[in-house]
Amino acid sequence: MSLVFLPEDMNWSCEPCGVPLEPGKVELAYLGQVFHVELPVCPKCGAAFVYEELAQGRIFEVEQLLEDK
Partner 1 sequence: MKTSELYASAPVRATLGRALRPGGEKLTRRMLELAGPLRGGLALDAGCGCGTSLVLLEEHGARAVGLDLNAVFLRESRDRKLRVARADLAELPLPDGCLDLVLCECAWNLTDKEQVLAEFLRVLRPGGMLALADIYARGYRAGEWPVRCCFAQATDLQTVMEQVSGAGFEIVVVEDHTELLKKTAADFVFRHGSLFGFWQAVTGDPDLATAACEASRATRPGLFLMMAHAVKR
Partner 2 sequence: MDQKELRDWEAKCIQEEPPACRAGCPLSVDARAFALAMAKGDMDAARTILEKSMPLAAITARLCEAPCEQFCIRKDLGGAINLGLLERLCIRETQPKGKILRLPARPKKVAVLGSGPSSLAVAFDLAKKGYPVSVYHLEPAPGAWLRALPDAVLPAEILDEELRRLTALHVTFTAVPALDAALIAAHPADAVYVGQDDTIAPDLLAGLGSPDTLTFALDRPGWFTGGMGLTDHPYRFITAMSHGREAAVSMDRFLQGASLTSSRVALRHGSTALFTQTRDIAPLARVTPADAAGYTRPVALEEAGRCIDCQCLECVRHCVYLKENGGYPKSYARRVFNNSAIVQGARQANKFINSCSLCGQCETLCPNDFSMADMCLDARQQMVREKRMPPSAHWFALEEMRAAGSDQAALARHASGMVASAALFFPGCQLSGIRPAQTLRLYDRLLELDPQTGIWLDCCAAPAHWSGRAEEFAELAKKLETTWTDMGGPKVVTACSTCLKMFREHLPQLGAVSVWTVLAEEPVPAAAAHPALALSDPCTSRHDERTRKDVRTLLENMGQALAALPMSGELTECCGFGGLMDNANPALARKVAAARVAQSDADFLTYCAMCRDQLAKTGKPVLHILDLLFPEIAHPASEPPASISLRRVNRRMLKTAVLERYGQDGMPRQPWEDVRLQISESVAAVLEERRILEDDLRQVIFSCKENGRCFVHGDDGRRIASAELGEVTFWVEYREERDVFTVLKAWSHRMRIAGGRI
Task: Figure out which of the listed residues 6, 23, 38, 59 binds partner 2, where binding follows CB under 8 A.
Answer: 59
62/17 Cα distance (integer angstroms)? 32
- 65 binding partner 1? (CB under 8 A): yes
Task: Figure out which of the listed residues 16, 19, 22, 33 binds partner 1, where binding follows CB under 8 A.
Answer: 33
Residues 6+ apart with CB under 8 A from 36: 1, 2, 3, 25, 26, 27
Shortest distance (Å) from residue 13 CB to partner 1:
26
- 61 binding partner 2? (CB under 8 A): no
